């Protein structure tokens, strides 16, 4: 396993790694895991619906709303638990720089997905595929952003 993603080493011996992970880094981990879990379930269920021939975009709205609501509840509960366990410190320049750099380096995924979605509108493709493709591009961009943030926290800028 890569040392970048091995949070147990820092938790087990914070002095050997400088300090325990900051609240911002823990927040990024929570966001990454929440996105991966919630939207893996969404895309699994949406894939089954598409395979069954459901093509009306409106049929996916309750599934999408449920995924967003579940993600919000999950992230709020997880952040509250982490905040209670460790008092959060303020966001500093390093946190901001890490966030900006990760956003800058991951935004191309969303841009490419939107451009592909626009081109797909000119083709005879069901709108449900385009809508889910756009949502997938958004999710992949956010997962890449969180992954880059974790990388920058672990390896430095």
DSSP secondary structure, 6-17, as one string: -HHHHHH-GGGG
| Calpha distance 67→44 (Å, rounded) | 12
pLDDT class of 2 with cuts at 50, 70, 90:
low
Total count of domains within the chain: 1
Residues 61-75 have a mean pLDDT of 97
Cα–Cα distance, 56 to 50 (Å, whole number): 10
How far apart (Å, rounded) are the C-alpha atoms in residues 70 and 107? 25
Banded pLDDT at 144 (limits 50, 70, 90): very high
- What is the average pLDDT across 11-38? 78
Residue 72 within any structural domain of the chain = yes
> Which pair of tokens denotes residue 50?
């598409």
Is residue 60 domain-resident?
A: yes
pLDDT score of 70: 97
Q: Is residue 2 part of a domain?
A: no
Check whether 24 has a pLDDT greater than 60: yes
pLDDT single digits (tens) 82-94: 999 887 777 789 9
More confident residue, 5 or 92: 92
Question: For the chain, what is the mean pLDDT?
Answer: 88
- ∠ CA 52-42-133, nearest 5°, is 80
The arithmetic mean of pLDDT across residues 81-107, rounded, is 89
The dihedral of CA 79, 85, 86, 90: what is its sign? positive
pLDDT given for residue 11 in this prediction: 43
Determine the Cα–Cα distance for residues 137 and 112; give it in Å rounded to an integer: 8
User: What is the reported pLDDT for 90?
Assistant: 74
In a domain, 24, yes or no: yes
- Residue 1 within any structural domain of the chain: no
Give the pLDDT of residue 92: 83
Domain that holds residue 63: 7-155
Q: What is the pLDDT of residue 86?
A: 82
* 121 lies in some domain: yes
């Amino acid at each position: 396993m890569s040392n970048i993603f091995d949070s147990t080493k820092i938790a087990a011996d914070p002095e050997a790694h400088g300090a325990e992970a900051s609240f911002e880094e823990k927040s990024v981990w929570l966001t990454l895991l929440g996105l991966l879990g919630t939207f893996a379930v969404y895309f699994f269920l949406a894939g089954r619906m598409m395979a069954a021939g459901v093509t009306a975009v409106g049929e996916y709205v309750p599934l999408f709303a449920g995924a967003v609501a579940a993600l919000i509840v999950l992230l709020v509960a997880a952040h509250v638990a982490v905040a209670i366990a460790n008092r959060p410190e303020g966001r500093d320049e390093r946190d901001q720089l890490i966030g900006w750099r990760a956003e800058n380096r991951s935004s191309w995924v969303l841009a490419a997905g939107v451009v592909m979605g626009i081109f797909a509108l000119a083709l005879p493709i069901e709108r449900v595929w385009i809508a889910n493709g756009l949502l997938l591009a958004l999710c992949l961009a956010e997962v890449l952003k969180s992954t880059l943030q974790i990388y920058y926290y672990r390896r430095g800028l």
